[in-house]
């Protein structure tokens, strides 16, 4: 077996690592936007005290600029049946409808609201974590942001019972034909 980080074997192994598939909301200005939603799979909890998640965002992306500007985000957890939704956010969102108050009411045709931290959240998300960036680590291709959970809400079916007994399944990368990494 080759020990080359760029070979096909390494890519296949990295693609096989189980990951979730989420939508990350961000804003350039918590008062006036603009706002963005981005499909993301490189997310994991890294600490329990305080509760912190790590999120890897591509260098040069709109989301990187927004996270650097405001340090706030939302992590939208989806159910398996919402898998088509993530495709709407693989590119920066320019299709934004605004309500009377000037805040976004839909993005890419999907109903949204603003979380208390000013970042957008999907109205139909299974769960949403509001995050405050507390640290970052730069890599050549991605920046890993560490976001402390400042607020959370979820639909009842996610909160009932254990993971194996829930009536709803959380969307993961394996539920789609998408792959990322390697």
Work out the pLDDT band at 182, boundaries 50, 70, 90: very low
Distance separating alpha carbons of residues 64 and 84, to the nearest angstrom? 24
Tokens matching residue 29: 């200005």
Determine the topology of domain 27-175 in CATH. Pnp Oxidase; Chain A (2.30.110)
HSE (CB half, 13 Å, CA atoms) of 95?
Answer: 9
Work out the pLDDT band at 180, boundaries 50, 70, 90: low
Q: What is the pLDDT of residues 143-158, one digit of tens each?
A: 999 999 999 999 988 8
Our CA angle for 128, 132, 137, nearest 5°, is 115
**Secondary structure string (H, E, C) spanning 132-149:** EEEEEEECCCEEEEEEEE
Q: What is the pLDDT of residues 86-142, one digit of tens each?
A: 999 999 999 999 999 999 999 999 999 999 999 999 999 999 999 999 999 999 999
Q: Do residues 78 and 171 make contact, with C-beta atoms less than 8 angstroms apart?
A: yes
Domain ranges of the chain: 27-175
Tokens matching residue 111: 């109903």
Distance separating alpha carbons of residues 12 and 15, to the nearest angstrom? 5
Residue 1's pLDDT is 46
Q: Is the dihedral of CA 75, 33, 86, 63 positive or negative?
A: negative
Query: What is the signed CA dihedral for 83, 102, 145, 5, rounded to 10 degrees?
Result: 50
């Amino acid at each position: 077996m080759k020990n080359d980080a760029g070979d096909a074997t390494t890519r296949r192994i990295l693609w096989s690592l189980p990951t979730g598939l989420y939508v990350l909301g961000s804003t350039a200005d918590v008062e006036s936007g603009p706002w963005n939603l981005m499909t993301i799979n490189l997310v994991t909890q890294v600490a329990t005290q305080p509760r912190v998640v790590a999120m890897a965002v591509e260098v040069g992306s709109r989301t990187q600029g927004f996270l650097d500007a405001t340090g706030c985000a939302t992590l939208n957890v989806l159910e398996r049946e919402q898998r088509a939704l993530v495709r709407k956010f693989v590119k920066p969102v320019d299709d934004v409808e605004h309500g009377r108050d000037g805040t976004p009411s839909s993005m890419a045709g999907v109903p949204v609201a603003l979380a208390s931290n000013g970042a957008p959240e999907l109205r139909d998300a299974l769960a949403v974590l509001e995050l405050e960036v507390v640290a970052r680590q730069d890599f050549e291709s991605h920046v890993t942001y560490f976001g402390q959970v400042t607020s959370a809400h979820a639909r009842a079916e996610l909160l009932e019972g254990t993971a194996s007994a829930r009536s709803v399944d959380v969307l993961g990368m394996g539920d789609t034909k998408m792959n990322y990494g390697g």
